[in-house]
Amino acid sequence: MNTLAFSATIAAASFCAGFLGSLTGLGGGFIVTPVLTLVFAADIRYAIGASLISIIATSSGAAAAYVKEGFTNLRVGMLLEIATVVGALLGASLVAVFPTRVITVIFGLVLLVSAYLTTRPRAEHLTAGLPPDPLAARLRLDSEYPTPEGPQRYRVRNVPGGFALMWLAGVLSGLLGIGSGAVKVLAMDRVMYLPFKVSTATSNFMIGVTAAASAGIYLRHGYVDPGLAMPVMLGVLAGSMVGARLLFGARTARLRLLFAVVIALIALEMIYHGAVGRS
């Protein structure tokens, strides 16, 4: 396979990853990194470096569309980004310490947990009639998002718990190059009780900043290959923009199921490769 065909193949795979990542708010890195390591036999550290660069582009592309449509809670995103950036710097500093086999197995386990949690949806709109959370009210985090029936109000809950989970999300982002969208969506959807589509949109808004915080450390270690990162970035960016356009009319239950099945299969393969030393 020549260079042009190789780049085109990677870009096509990255397009699919960006599309799914945008719809679920988990970022294309959840699929890009396993594809690069399992299909294209790339070193996982270089795959993570390319993934981080693509995540920055993904966030820039999808986040603008979500903000325009009114899904993103900007105040929540900017507040929680403080925790994720601190965690991302710590996680990226560990990449030169952990062996590739360990990183691969950790990646697979994170994927499995993400797939399991995604299949257990929480009912939407449970917070609209509740009294305001004192801290969320002081920070003016409560908001609304568009639905076919009109704007739907929601209240933000348990800000400290979400903030703590965001720090863990940052560590995983820096170590695994995944944008940590799974933990971010978990924190906002399950802990802070944001509607799933709001969690998805706000996650996309945040992941670029988190990735940028750790990408510099990967670049300093020499784990960013422009020949690999460029087609990945272009493919993921295009896929994320298409996915963002389809989110408004998408069925949340179907998004969760599609993500869970794909990620669970990839997770098992990643764990196997890491355990037998093939990564």
Structure tokens at 175: 């170590």
Q: Around 64, how many Cα atoms within 13 Å sit in the side-chain half-sphere?
A: 9
User: What does the alpha-carbon distance between residue 45 and residue 66 come to, in Å, rounded to a whole number?
Assistant: 30
Give yes or no for residue 128 having a pLDDT over 70. no
- The pair phi, psi for residue 278, each rounded to 5°, is -100, 0
Rg, C-alpha atoms of the chain: 18
Structure tokens at 123: 């009912």
Give yes or no for residue 221 having a pLDDT over 70. yes
What are the b/e assignments for 236-250, b being 16+ CB within 10 Å?
A: bbbbbbbbbeebeee
User: What does the alpha-carbon distance between residue 163 and residue 154 come to, in Å, rounded to a whole number?
Assistant: 19
Of 113, 114, 255, 267, residue with least CA distance to 195: 255
Give yes or no for residue 200 having a pLDDT over 80. no
Q: Determine contact, residues 122/191, Cβ cutoff 8 Å.
A: no
CA angle, residues 198, 163, 28, in degrees to nearest 5: 50
**Each residue's pLDDT tens digit, 61-116:** 667 777 888 888 999 989 998 998 898 888 888 877 888 788 888 888 877 877 77
User: What does the alpha-carbon distance between residue 124 and residue 197 come to, in Å, rounded to a whole number?
Assistant: 10
**Each residue's pLDDT tens digit, 238-249:** 887 787 677 656
Of 160, 132, 109, 61, residue with least CA distance to 268: 109
pLDDT band at 125, cuts 50/70/90? very low
Query: What is the number of structural domains in the chain?
Result: 1
Higher-scoring residue by pLDDT: 177, 199: 199
Tell me the one-letter amino acid at 58.
T
Range of the domain at 197: 3-276
Total count of residues recorded for the chain: 279
Q: For 183-190, what is the mean pLDDT?
A: 78
Q: Around 197, how many Cα atoms within 13 Å sit in the side-chain half-sphere?
A: 26
Of 25, 9, 91, residue with least CA distance to 58: 25
Q: For 154-179, what is the mean pLDDT?
A: 84
Q: For 206-216, what is the mean pLDDT?
A: 80
N-to-C CA span, the chain = 22
**Could you tell me which residues are beta bridge partners of residue 153?**
144
Q: Please give the mean pLDDT across all residues of the chain.
A: 80
Identify the weakest region by mean pLDDT among 66-80, 123-137, 163-177, 216-230: 123-137
Q: For 264-269, what is the mean pLDDT?
A: 79
User: What does the alpha-carbon distance between residue 186 and residue 33 come to, in Å, rounded to a whole number?
Assistant: 21
